Amino acid sequence: MRQKEGRFYTDEQVSRLPEIEPIHPYFHEWQMRARSGKRLVSYLQKKNKPLNILEIGCGNGWLSAKMAELDGALVTGIDTNKPEIEQAHRVFTNSSARFIYGTFNLDTFGKFIKFDVIVFAASFQYFPSARGIIDEAAKLLDEGGEIHIIDTHFYDTEQAKLSASRSKKYYANMGVAEMAGHYFHHSLNCFDGFDHKALFNPKSWLNRVTKKDAFYWIRIGPTQTLPGREGFKKAIKVSPTGGDLEGADNMVGRQSLYHTFKRYNTLRTHRISALPIVILMPHSACNCRCVMCDIWKDNKNLKQITPDDISKLVRSLKKLDTQRVLMSGGEALLNKKFLVCVRY
């Protein structure tokens, strides 16, 4: 179907999207998508933190690749169109974005993977139940996360009926009448009950004058205000072995795909990208004489950490997402500056 519509692109064209030659039949549509994509990326950049992003219905992956250029971003794109996913793998080999061929559902990502941002770009219209897909997507959001919907038309009730009729004729004329059953005309009423905001309104007076863009940009969330999410604020705690733990004593804390990736990268390369737990030895000597331990036998070679050492470490530990610092030894309390070190 996409081939008949002229929506399959060469690898060279995909590598340059959303820029495309002016003679292309969808040139003006891509100009709109370039502006909406730029607005979204700029918005995410202003968050000034690493983001774990999921794009549902990523197609050939051009937008996922753009978002992956954000500092520290980990982007996953998923789509049911196998040729386009294969193309994304070919074209964006140098991108940190990863692409998955498959249907979006919770089982695809597992129980503990959460996203900061979930994006639907020109894909929301392919889901029959707007509220259903929002509810499903929200279950994969980390606390404070957001859903962003761009490049999809939304209608009032009467417009939706007329547009559905036009779609049926369009697909019938192309010889694929059955495709009309896979394209859905949602109204803005589908967001009622959700904490949502139109970050771009094509019906604003300025856009009515310029007539540049036809698509709404809808943000849903932050997630703590989404309806029907009982217990969402409760942190999911994950043990190092993957078990489900509760309470504040969990050694590792909430996991995300982003942090999992950083830890994996540490294991497979020579570069340390993440240190969730750090063990420091404030004082190497020990005043005990435990029979199962011989640390005390090396008391003459005393080594200890100073507050100055700790102050230099703090910035690095923050960058490495360190969540717990264990004070070990020897006997840590033998360090006369121990409490000063702990205050850091």
Mean predicted confidence (pLDDT) in 140-144: 89
Judge whether 257 and 110 are in contact, CB under 8 Å.
no
* Same domain, residue pair 48 and 191: yes
Tokens at 300, concatenated: 């003459």
CATH of the domain at 106: 3.40.50.150
Task: Give 130's pLDDT tier (boundaries 50, 70, 90).
Answer: very high
Which has the higher per-residue pLDDT, 197 or 270?
197
> What pLDDT score does 226 carry?
41
* Same domain, residue pair 280 and 266: no
* Same domain, residue pair 20 and 168: yes
Kindly compute the dihedral angle of the four CA atoms of residues 259, 262, 267, 273, in this order, to the nearest 10 degrees. -120
Whether residue 6 lies inside any domain: the answer is: no
* Same domain, residue pair 294 and 184: no
Q: Which domain holds residue 266?
A: 237-274
In 3-state terms the chain splits into helix, strand, coil percentages (rounded to 5) of: 40, 15, 45
Whether residue 181 lies inside any domain: the answer is: yes
Whether residue 252 lies inside any domain: the answer is: yes
> What pLDDT score does 265 carry?
67
Residues 38-78: pLDDT tens digits?
Answer: 999 999 999 999 999 999 999 999 999 999 999 989 999 99
* Same domain, residue pair 197 and 263: no
Across the chain, mean pLDDT equals 79
What total number of domains does the chain contain?
3
* Same domain, residue pair 32 and 47: yes
* Same domain, residue pair 67 and 196: yes
What residue has token string 């139940």?
129
> What pLDDT score does 174 carry?
65
